Chain A
Amino acid sequence: MNTMSEKATDREEIEYLLPWHAAGTLSRRDAERVERALASDQELARRFDLVREELSETIHLNESLGAPSARAMEKLFAAIDAEGAHRRKPGLAMDVRTKVAEFFSAFAPRTLAFASAAAALVIVLQAGVIGSMVLNSPEQPSYKAASAEHPVGINFYVNFAPKVTADEVTKFLRDHKATIIDGPRIQGTYQVQFREVATKEDTARILRELQNSRNIIASEFEATPAK
């Protein structure tokens, strides 16, 4: 009985692996295991034929999607060119990096502070823009953890535009009564809390305003509601 159920489980496991076997992406050991099962199980072999059929048509479907126009490449390299100068200013970067590392070390464990300091140059520059804004401007919204201080609000994850200046970020945050509460995360994303948001209409308005501020906010998506 036990052997039968073991066999059934093993067969089920093999069946789960059939798509990867068809695509040739299994480890040698798993591939051999599947091959042995296929050789001794006609029904499994029939099902494998169905998998191969699906694989073939999925490739056909994707290949029929065409390719992007040259616009995608032009846009990319225009953006890279725009950033080029920033990547070649190590002196400035080191200066900003030190400043940002000191800033973040006040809020995060030492290891995280150094991890932030070791982040990609552009991310550091972005952090530097925001860091210097927080450090140098007395009237600025501050970088601090979300707390019960703000009973309502909405959080968005945002990526700042590559060429944004400290003044622009400062003004944007002040105008929207917003605070950076986390970041930079992977891909240079920051979490920003908009405090004066209580209704769905407010959220929709903020989203529209973010989307209309592409010179400052490159992209955004809504995070969990602020508590």
Chain B
Amino acid sequence: MSANQATSDEVLIGRIAKGDRLAMQVLFARHHVRVYRFVLRLVGNPTTAEDLISEVFLDVWRQADRFEGRSAVSTWMLAIARFKALSALRKKPDEELDEETAETIEDTADTPDVALEKKDKSAVLRQCLEKLSPEHKEIIDLVYYHEKSVEEVAEIVGIPENTVKTRMFYARKKLAELLKAAGVERGWP
């Protein structure tokens, strides 16, 4: 995200705090897809993820006047989204989520073994990314996809910065192990 966008996000939040509905539409248009994907990767269910992003942005609407600008708006929103997603996960029994996930997420990708037979290393890597624990998926997504710094990840996840670095390292290590098990040897770790 550019510095200009960061600034204008803050300006939007200022307007939202005054009840500006149009500013809310702009902020939603700018961020809702990324917030949705972050939540979807955590809860695994598109319908639940859609409901949750409505709640996330409703919280932004309600709390805009309390935003202090100490972090980027997107970081603040991801922190709210994470809180909502984890609350939703705690509410629903595991089996219910698993069933919903199985019903709603269409798995069109090959299994790692099949993908490997097709010599599609990228597909294997994506399959293995899917197999990571929620904790490891979350940190990898925040760093690689959401482009969050060490400090920002620490704020979103609520852990010390050193733990962010080591958690990311172990997430990558686990990914390497999954790749190795799928037949992709990368010579690390």
> In the complex, which residue of chain A has the Cβ closest to the Cβ of B35?
A68
Given A76-B57, A79-B54, A80-B21, are A54 and B149 neighbors across the interface (CB < 8 Å)?
no
- The reply on B97 being an interface residue by CB < 8 A is no
Interface residues contributed by chain B, number (CB under 8 Å): 59
CB pair A84 B144 closer than 8 Å: no
Taking CB atoms, residues of chain B closer than 8 Å to A71 are 50
Chain A stretch 4-40: residues in CB contact (< 8 A) with chain B: 15-17, 19-20, 22-26
Distance of A216 from chain B, by nearest CB (Å): 16
- Report chain B residues within 8 Å CB of A53: 125
Q: In angstroms, how far is the closest chain A Cβ from the Cβ of B96?
A: 12
CA distance A87 to B21 in the complex (A): 12
Binary per-residue interface labels of chain A (109-133) against chain B in the complex, 1 for a CB within 8 Å, 0 otherwise: 0000000000111110000000000
Q: Would A57 and B129 be within 8 Å (CB), given that A67-B33, A220-B91 are in contact? A: yes
Determine how close the nearest CB of chain A comes to the CB of B118; give it in whole angstroms: 16
Q: Does A59 contact B (CB under 8 A)?
A: yes
A47-B188, A51-B172, A222-B90 given; A72·B62 CB < 8 A = no
Q: How far is the CA of A115 from the CA of B151 in the complex (A)?
A: 26
With A24-B147, A50-B188, A53-B125 known to touch, is A68 a contact of B50 (CB < 8 Å)?
A: yes
**Best-buried of B51, B64, B143 by chain A (most CB within 10 Å):** B143
Given the complex of chains A and B, what is the CA–CA distance between A105 and B28 in angstroms? 37
Chief secondary structure at chain A's binding surface: helix
Is A188 a contact partner of B62 (Cβ separation < 8 A)? Answer: yes
Which A-chain residue is minimally distant from B152 (CB atoms)? A25
| B53 contacts the other chain (CB 8 A) | yes
Q: Which of A164-191 contact B (CB under 8 A)?
A: 187-188
Please give the distance in Å from B88's CB to the nearest CB on chain A: 8
A60 interface residue (CB < 8 Å to B): yes
**Residue-by-residue, is A45-81 near B (CB-CB < 8 Å gives 1, otherwise 0)?**
0110011011111111110011111011101110110
Among A26, A71, A76, A211: residue with most chain B CB under 10 A: A76
In the complex, are the beta carbons of A58 and B129 less than 8 A apart? Answer: yes
Shortest Cβ distance from residue B45 to the other chain A in the assembled complex, whole angstroms: 12
Is the CB–CB distance between A68 and B90 below 8 Å? no
Given contacts A62-B145, A72-B50, are A57 and B122 in contact (CB under 8 A)?
A: yes
Contact A68 B28 (CB under 8 A): no
Question: Would you give the shortest CB distance from B26 to chain A, in whole angstroms?
Answer: 12
A217 to B125, CA, bound (A): 42
Interface status of B135 (Cβ within 8 A of chain A) = no
CA distance A83 to B59 in the complex (A): 12
Task: Decide: A88 and B19 in contact? CB cutoff 8 A.
Answer: yes
In angstroms, Cα B141 to Cα A92, docked, is 44
* Binary A-proximity of B148-189 (CB < 8 A = 1, otherwise 0): 111010000000000001101100100110000000001110
Are A17 and B165 touching (Cβ within 8 A)? yes
Q: Is the CB of B141 within 8 A of A58?
A: yes
B13 at the interface (CB under 8 A from A): no
B77 at the interface (CB under 8 A from A): no
Contact partner, B40, options A50, A55, A65, A220, Cβ 8 Å: A65
B125 x A25 contact (CB < 8 A): no
- Tell me if B37 counts as interface (CB < 8 A to partner A): yes
Name A residues whose Cβ lies closer than 8 Å to a Cβ of B: 15-17, 19-20, 22-26, 46-47, 50-51, 53-62, 65-69, 71-73, 75-77, 79-80, 83-84, 87-88, 119-123, 187-188, 207, 211, 218-222
29 A-B pairs with CB atoms under 8 Å apart are: A15-B169, A19-B172, A50-B176, A53-B125, A54-B129, A54-B140, A57-B122, A57-B129, A58-B140, A59-B145, A60-B122, A61-B129, A62-B41, A62-B145, A65-B36, A67-B32, A68-B32, A72-B54, A73-B28, A73-B32, A73-B54, A75-B54, A76-B28, A76-B58, A79-B54, A119-B66, A187-B80, A218-B55, A219-B55
Query: Top 3 nearest A-B pairs by Cβ distance?
Result: A58-B144, A122-B62, A16-B165
